[in-house]
Amino acid sequence: MADLLNEGGRSLLLGNEAIVRGLIEAGAGFASTYPGTPSSEIGNILEKISSDAGMYFEFSTNEKVAMEVSAAAASSGVRSFVFMKHVGLNVAADPMMTLAYSGVRAGMLILSADDPSAHSSQNEQDNRYYSTLALLPMMEPSTPAEAKDMVAEAYRVSEELGLPLLFRTTTRMNHARGVVRFGPRRAVKAKGHFDKDVAKFVNVPAFAKLNRKILLEKYAKAQEMSEASDLNFEEGAGEVGIIVSGVSYAYVKEFVSGASILKLGFTNPLPERRIAEFVRSKKAVIVVEELEPFLEDQVLRICGQNGISVPVYGKRTGHLPRAWEYSPDVLKGISGIVKVAEFPEPMKVPDVVLPSRPPTLCAGCPHRGMYAAAKKAVGKTDVVYCSDIGCYTLGVQPPFSTADFIICMGGGAGAAGGFDAVTDQRAIAFMGDSTFFHAGVPPLVNALFNGHRIVMVILDNRTTAMTGHQPNPGTGRDFGGVSTDAIDIEALVKGIGVGFVESVNPYDVKKATQVFKDALAYDGVAVIISKCPCPLELKKSKKLVVGECKVDSTVCNLCGTCLKTIACPALFKKDGRISPDPVQCIGCGMCASVCPRGAIEVRR
Amino acid sequence: MKYTVQIVGVGGQGVLLASMVLGNAAMDMGFDVAMSEVHGMAQRGGSVLSTVRFGDGVVSPLEAAGSADMIMGFEPVETCRNLSLGNRDTVVLMNMDPVLPSMVAAGFEEYPSLDLLKERVSSENPNTITIDATDIAVKAGKAVAANAVMIGAVGAVKGFPIPKDVLLKALMSQVPEKFRELNAKAFEMGYSAIA
């Protein structure tokens, strides 16, 4: 990782690193998040360097809380930064909508990392609409270098308007890399004071009605700032105009020639007069943007209001796709209107049957053991496996197939209650420790309150694994000069009155299977806590004690039970033998635990 | 001049490190650089792809299909799977050391023979160079240095715009000090295997 606290110089930075550098240069004093790809690296970096940067940073228990703590900071005069993945903003939307009414006293940026093509997500929603829904100003960078500089400008605009600003990125910005030059750093203000103002900060109906008018006035001012902003600029020349924002600008700039480009960085409110003027002088206009026709529809409206009859091409005309992220290839769709670079004929993928390579649970992943136990205990019982967001989502693949229903963080446990109420199927909910603290407690309370008979399995691997091993309330915090105790999941669950609570070691598949059977037989809400640290996290923190599994081929009869029930990537069937791969095997012993003949020995 | 390297492989093979080395070397040469990486869910043993682009006026972090100047394949099946990233003039550098997917390991799917993969890739692409990077790395001292072998091999490819010494310097700056000797040796051996 580049040293983001350096004075001057240049570095090849990931978009997320560039954004952190932007925060440092802008003197941000407060940051909060709930980890989510493609924004996660920002948190991992801040965990390491926020103290040295003079900034307070926290992993909040969920995005809503992250929004609230950052709102308090900005309301107390400290520049704050809250960041999350796109679906996280759904969770945080409630405080955001009214925070727009209150406004803020220091700059506040809300970073939404959208994920076109859903590389690591359950949908590809376009969060630009949140800016028009909440009436908040919005900016969208196109490259890492621009993102770094845009952060400072975004704080300036946010402060001048007294409004939080939506800083919208996408995967190919967050996870792109480019050369970034370091600029001077503004002094950090990390402590503030909350000066009370009930009419501003307490949106009871009487004040909310007034604050709505104030918000609309600020929005009109934002419109003028957008008209004048250097983040919206024209370049190139030609009869055809292209209106573009985000990473699509990089594709257009490099692979389209002979067109006049209006590049938009300040994308809500749009610079309407500027757009009208731009379009009026063109023979035709193309709007290039990923996902929804957010700009395109507004351009069409602006044309309508200004009596402009220049044709506008894009998604509405079928020239550009609405689904999935863009790449230079999508420009072929507009090659009849404007000059697009010619790309060579791609080679054919040879006609060979290639094995699939989906992402998979790691060798020694404790989730494998719990899923094996669940399958064994459930047998032929008609169940609905409700799953959730995390590594354990990968249980959807065979041989486990332990995910029948996934919608959102914490959603599996909520849905399990519904399945119990509406079907005669047994409802099982799997959820990770971090997800449990994020959104798992309310559905568990709901199941108790409404008498849903569910089995909830909390896969406590002592970390937020999928996003790169961030701490969570179940691990306690130990960075940035703050140390807190871990919250005991078992005590919490017992404390709210769950009648069946058992903790198991998932590496002991036999024992876990028995506990699972007991839970299925229990008439009420049953909670199983699968306790075992993520080996990858242990490896990172150099705490992993690596053992080794050995198969005695004189005892093994090649029944394949280990392969079929655990499917560990470290177990191979090769040359008529089952043999563990010594490089991948950590000696967890799950395979030994399921072997009916005791042919596998674990050496530690 | 513009140049695009598409690096394909499996999570954990060092694809990201290789892309960092090429990208930093390109920056040191004074080129504009734009890259794209895969993070997150796909890292868990899945297929990974990194795009490294450099040259004059490079802005786009992605490249069009068929437009790669080089495909740097860390794994035979992944090289084969991603062949449409390049065209017949593309240089395909193909490490012949397979990483078996879990479904193959468990006996549910089959891994094609290496000879077949090599033959099919070579017949589609006349500029295919195969290398046993892992074997070479083992000879250099440790299997994990296979990515340094691959980077050395890239430096020896005719027409590659970044000279060997710049690549080696970038590699040294990206690896921890205690692994520099191993990586330097692996790099040299990779270079010699192709040159």
Q: Please, which contacts does B118-124 make with residues 24 or more away whose CB atoms are closer than 8 Å?
A: B118/B76, B118/B94, B120/A350, B120/A351, B120/A352, B120/B80, B121/A350, B121/B79, B121/B80, B121/B83, B121/B92, B121/B94, B123/A350, B124/A347, B124/A348, B124/A350, B124/B83, B124/B88
Q: How far is B131 from chain A (nearest CA, A)?
A: 19
Q: What is the mean pLDDT of residues A426-430?
A: 98
Q: Within 13 Å and on the Cβ side, how many CA atoms surround A242?
A: 30
**Contacts of residue B1 in chain A, CB cutoff 8 Å?**
none
Could you report the per-residue pLDDT of B95-134, keeping only the tens digit for each? 999 998 877 877 788 999 999 999 999 999 999 999 999 9
Reported as type and span, the H/E element at residue B86 is strand B86-95
**Contacts of residue B83 in chain A, CB cutoff 8 Å?**
347-350
Query: Residue A523 has what DSSP assignment?
Result: S
In chain A, which residue's Cα lies nearest the Cα of B2? Answer: A254
Q: Is A501 helix (H, G, I), strand (E, B) or coil?
A: strand
CA–CA gap between residue A439 and residue A413 (Å, rounded): 9
In chain A, which residue's Cα lies nearest the Cα of B77? Answer: A354
What is the residue-wise DSSP string for A385-431? Answer: EE--SSGGGGGGSTTT---SB--STTHHHHHHHHHHHH-SSEEEEEE
Q: How many distinct helices (H) and strands (E) make up chain A? A: 21, 27
pLDDT above 90 coverage of chain A, percent:
93
Give yes or no for B30 touching A (CB within 8 A).
no
Question: Strands of A233-235's sheet, edge to edge?
Answer: A233-235, A260-264, A240-245, A284-288, A312-313
Q: How far is B176 from chain A (nearest CA, A)?
A: 12
Could you report the per-residue pLDDT of A351-395, keeping only the tens digit for each? 999 999 888 899 899 999 999 999 999 999 999 999 999 999 999
Identify which of B39, B65, B112 has the shortest CB distance to residue A175: B39
Per the CB < 8 Å rule, is B77 touching A573?
Answer: no
Q: Residue A577 pLDDT more than 70?
A: yes
Report whether B195 contacts B50 (CB < 8 A): no
Per the CB < 8 Å rule, is B86 touching A347?
Answer: yes
Give the sign of the dihedral formed by CA A438, CA A441, CA A444, CA A446: negative
Per the CB < 8 Å rule, is A359 touching B46?
Answer: yes
Q: How is residue A206 written in tokens? A: 């009487």
Q: How many distinct helices (H) and strands (E) make up chain B? A: 8, 6
Domain with B88 in it? 2-194
Q: Within 13 Å and on the Cβ side, how many CA atoms surround A272?
A: 16
Give yes or no for B97 touching A (CB within 8 A).
no
Could you report the per-residue pLDDT of A220-241, keeping only the tens digit for each? 999 999 999 999 999 999 999 9
Helices (H), B39-129: 76-81, 102-105, 114-124
pLDDT category of residue A2 using cuts at 50, 70 and 90:
low
Q: How far is CA A521 from the centre of its chain?
A: 37
Per the CB < 8 Å rule, is B11 touching A359?
Answer: yes
Q: How far is CA A331 from CA A4, A114, A549, B10, in A?
A: 35, 21, 53, 29
Count other Cβ atoms within 10 Å, centred on residue A491: 9
Q: How far is B62 from chain A (nearest CA, A)?
A: 6
In chain B, which residue's Cα lies nearest the Cα of A566? Answer: B106
Give yes or no for B1 touching A (CB within 8 A).
no
Q: Which residues contact B79 (CB under 8 A, 6 or more apart)?
A: B8, B71, B73, B92, B94, B95, B117, B121
pLDDT for the residue numbered A360: 87
What is the residue-wise DSSP string for A227-268? Answer: HH-TTSEEES--SEEEEEETTHHHHHHHHEES-EEEEESEEE
Pick the CATH number of A545-604 from 3.30.56.10, 3.40.50.970, 3.30.70.20, 3.40.50.12280: 3.30.70.20
Q: What is the mean pLDDT of residues A173-183?
A: 97
pLDDT for the residue numbered A323: 98
Reported as type and span, the H/E element at residue A296 is helix A294-305
Q: What is the mean pLDDT of residues A88-111?
A: 98
pLDDT for the residue numbered B43: 57
Could you report the per-residue pLDDT of B8-44, keeping only the tens digit for each? 999 888 899 999 999 999 999 999 999 998 866 655 6
Give the sign of the dihedral formed by CA B108, CA B102, CA A382, CA A385: negative
pLDDT for the residue numbered B50: 96
β-strands A108-114, A478-479 pairing: unpaired
Return the percent helix, strand and coil in chain B, to nearest 5: 50, 20, 30
For helices B180-194 and B164-174, what crossing angle results, to 10°?
150
CA–CA gap between residue B152 and residue A599 (Å, rounded): 44
For an interface test with A, give the residue of B21, B35, B63, B102 to mutate (most A CBs within 10 A). Answer: B102
For helices A144-161 and A15-26, what crossing angle results, to 10°?
40
In chain A, which residue's Cα lies nearest the Cα of B110? Answer: A355
**Class of the A366-542 domain?**
alpha beta
Nearest CA-CA partner of A176 in B19, B65, B31: B19
CA–CA gap between residue B94 and residue B121 (Å, rounded): 9
pLDDT for the residue numbered A74: 98
Q: Is A551 helix (H, G, I), strand (E, B) or coil?
A: strand
Query: Residue B178 has what DSSP assignment?
Result: G
Portion 122-151 of B in contact with A at CB < 8 A? 123-125, 143
Portion 65-94 of B in contact with A at CB < 8 A? 65-67, 77-78, 80-90
pLDDT for the residue numbered A572: 84
pLDDT for the residue numbered B40: 61
Per the CB < 8 Å rule, is B84 touching A346?
Answer: yes
Portion 173-192 of B in contact with A at CB < 8 A? none
pLDDT for the residue numbered B42: 52
Q: What is the mean pLDDT of residues A117-143?
A: 97
Which has more pLDDT, A303 or A568? A303
Q: How far is CA A582 from CA A292, A452, A603, in A?
A: 48, 45, 12
Q: How far is A390 from chain B (nearest CA, A)?
A: 9
Report the alpha-carbon angle A115-A117-A118, nearest 5.
Answer: 55
Could you report the per-residue pLDDT of A312-352, keeping only the tens digit for each? 999 999 999 999 999 999 999 999 999 999 999 999 999 99
CA–CA gap between residue A371 and residue A538 (Å, rounded): 21
Pick the CATH number of A10-228 from 3.40.50.970, 3.80.30.20, 1.20.1240.10, 3.30.70.270: 3.40.50.970
**Class of the A233-340 domain?**
alpha beta
CA–CA gap between residue A215 and residue A134 (Å, rounded): 10
**Contacts of residue A346 in chain B, CB cutoff 8 Å?**
65-66, 84-87
Q: What is the mean pLDDT of residues A79-101?
A: 98
Q: How far is CA A448 from CA A414, A469, A500, B79, in A?
A: 11, 31, 12, 53
Matching fold, domains A10-228 and A233-340 = yes
In chain B, which residue's Cα lies nearest the Cα of A349? Answer: B83
Nearest CA-CA partner of A568 in A559, A554, A581, A557: A581
Phi, psi angle pair for B147, to nearest 5° = -70, -30
Count other Cβ atoms within 10 Å, centred on residue A94: 12
Residue A374: Cβ-neighbour burial (10 angstroms; 0-12, 13-18, 19+):
buried
CA dihedral A253, A254, A260, A261 (to 10 degrees): -10
Q: Provide the residue count of chain A.
A: 604
Question: Strands of A426-432's sheet, edge to edge?
Answer: A383-386, A426-432, A454-460, A526-531, A500-504
Q: How far is A344 from chain B (nearest CA, A)?
A: 6
Q: How is residue B18 written in tokens? A: 């290789």
Report whether A262 contacts A227 (CB < 8 A): no
**Contacts of residue A344 in chain B, CB cutoff 8 Å?**
66-67, 87, 89
**Contacts of residue A12 in chain B, CB cutoff 8 Å?**
20, 23-24, 27, 33, 35
For an interface test with A, give the residue of B32, B35, B39 to mutate (most A CBs within 10 A). Answer: B39
Give yes or no for B163 touching A (CB within 8 A).
no
pLDDT for the residue numbered A1: 55
Q: How far is A213 from chain B (nearest CA, A)?
A: 42
Could you report the per-residue pLDDT of A433-472, keeping only the tens digit for each? 999 999 999 999 999 999 999 999 999 999 999 999 999 9
pLDDT for the residue numbered A584: 85
Q: Is A41 helix (H, G, I), strand (E, B) or coil?
A: helix
CA–CA gap between residue A297 and residue A276 (Å, rounded): 13
Q: How far is A146 from chain B (nearest CA, A)?
A: 11
Q: What is the mean pLDDT of residues A110-124?
A: 96
pLDDT category of residue A85 using cuts at 50, 70 and 90:
very high
Q: Is B106 helix (H, G, I), strand (E, B) or coil?
A: coil
Give yes or no for A464 touching B (CB within 8 A).
no
**Contacts of residue A329 in chain B, CB cutoff 8 Å?**
64-65
Could you report the per-residue pLDDT of A504-542, keeping only the tens digit for each? 999 999 999 999 999 999 999 999 999 999 999 998 889
pLDDT category of residue B159 using cuts at 50, 70 and 90:
very high
CA–CA gap between residue A162 and residue A139 (Å, rounded): 16
pLDDT for the residue numbered B100: 87
Find the CATH number of the domain harbouring B32.
Answer: 3.40.920.10
- Phi-psi bin for A558: left (phi > 0), alpha (psi -120 to 50), beta? left
Paired strand residues for A601: A550
Query: Residue A67 has what DSSP assignment?
Result: H
User: What is the model's pTM?
Assistant: 0.97
Q: Is A94 helix (H, G, I), strand (E, B) or coil?
A: helix
CA–CA gap between residue A24 and residue A2 (Å, rounded): 14
pLDDT for the residue numbered A569: 87
Q: Residue A558 pLDDT more than 70?
A: yes
Q: How far is A192 from chain B (nearest CA, A)?
A: 36
Domain locations in chain A as residue ranges: 10-228, 233-340, 366-542, 545-604
Which has more pLDDT, A401 or B100? A401
In chain A, which residue's Cα lies nearest the Cα of B25? Answer: A12
Tell me how many domains chain B contains.
1
> Which ipTM was obtained for this model?
0.96
Q: Provide the residue count of chain B.
A: 195
pLDDT for the residue numbered A582: 83
